[in-house]
């Protein structure tokens, strides 16, 4: 089981051309490994999967898998609102050597719970790669209910869920109803500490992009049940958890990484740069955390 701080990694881009910045991506990978990040999610929401072409999507996954070189696990974002496309992307990730895939609920078309069961069951039966469900209704307009997750958890290669609602009552139900080897991950940095103290297994994190070592320390403390240590570290990160969502992710986190000198401040349309009046809030949060 993959546990701890799992970074939902940004995809760096060049400001002038919009092309993927492979040099910066390589540097970010090395930084995360040194700083203690437990695993990398490649081309998830934070990685701007929605604006990458299929070929770029494949290339970024292949690049990250190659650069990581088995030092830590790589989880490939392969979700889609088409079951056939999700199968294609998941197969591609498996061929590239990813350790697992992360499959967001189908967005826009708003499937029923029965539709979700059929969607994920079809993918699981089509591709043997380990698969992690991803529920983030605030972005997808599709809420995968706990009962659906519990049903899907019985499939051998569906190994976990990223639950991004921030609803800890759901987490409690999942922990009590799913087998011990089914991983429950937070997809909400603000409540991740509490989820792990309840028995959850890690945090697929936006904040880890800018505070990898602090997030690693916090997650490790929470998983081992050290609530005092986890709370102390999380207190430093609290403002980041909120300020990195002042506008749609990954707008603020890319600005923050640019402020740290890690990447160019470049996103693809329709995403635009962080609004001027919000930049001070993000900078203050970085200072509170001791990052700058």
Positions annotated as catalytic residues are: 134, 162
In degrees, rounded to 5, the angle at the alpha carbon of residue 36 between the alpha carbons of residues 32 and 37 is 55
The Cα 127–Cα 12 span in angstroms is 29
Give the list of residues 6+ apart from residue 249 with CB closer than 8 angstroms, or none. 45, 46, 206
Give the list of residues 6+ apart from residue 94 with CB closer than 8 angstroms, or none. 101, 127, 128, 129
DSSP collapsed to 3 states, the chain? CCCEEEEECCCCECCCCCCECHHHHHHHHHHHHHHCCCEEEECCCCCCHHHCCHHHHHHHHHHHHHHHCCCCCEEEECCCCCHHHHHHHHHHHHHHCCCEEEEECCCCCCCCHHHHHHHHHHHHHHCCCCEEEEECHHHHCCCCCHHHHHHHCCCCCEEEEEECCCCHHHHHHHHHHCCCCCEEEECCHHHHHHHHHCCCCEEEECHHHCCHHHHHHHHHHHHCCCHHHHHHHHHHHHHHHHHCCCCCCCHHHHHHHHHCCCCCCCCCCCCCCCCHHHHHHHHHHHHHCCCC
């Amino acid at each position: 089981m993959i546990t701890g701080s799992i970074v939902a990694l940004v995809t760096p881009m060049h400001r002038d051309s919009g092309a993927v910045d492979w040099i910066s991506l390589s540097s970010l990978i090395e930084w995360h490994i040194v700083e203690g990040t437990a695993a990398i999610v490649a081309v998830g929401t934070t990685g701007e999967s929605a604006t990458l072409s299929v070929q770029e999507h494949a290339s970024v996954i292949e690049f990250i898998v190659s650069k990581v070189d088995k030092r830590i696990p790589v989880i490939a974002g392969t979700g889609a609102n088409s079951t056939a496309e999700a199968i294609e992307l998941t197969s591609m990730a498996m061929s590239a050597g990813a350790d697992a895939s992360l499959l967001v609920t189908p967005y826009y078309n708003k499937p029923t719970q029965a539709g979700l069961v059929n969607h994920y069951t079809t993918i699981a039966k089509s591709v043997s790669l380990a698969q992690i469900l991803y529920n983030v209704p605030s972005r997808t307009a599709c809420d995968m209910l706990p009962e659906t997750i519990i049903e899907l958890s019985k499939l051998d290669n569906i190994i976990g869920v990223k639950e991004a609602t921030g609803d800890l009552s759901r987490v409690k139900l999942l922990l009590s109803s799913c087998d011990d080897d089914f991983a429950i991950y937070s997809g909400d940095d603000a409540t991740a500490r509490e989820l792990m103290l309840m028995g959850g297994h890690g945090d697929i994190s936006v904040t880890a992009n800018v505070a990898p070592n602090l997030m690693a320390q916090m997650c490790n403390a929470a998983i081992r049940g050290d609530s005092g240590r986890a709370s102390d570290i999380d207190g430093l990160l609290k403002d980041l958890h909120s300020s990195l969502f002042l506008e749609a992710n990954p707008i603020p986190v890319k600005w923050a990484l640019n402020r740290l000198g890690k990447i160019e401040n470049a996103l693809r349309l329709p995403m635009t740069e962080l609004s001027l009046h919000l930049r001070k809030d993000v900078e203050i949060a970085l200072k509170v955390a001791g990052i700058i």
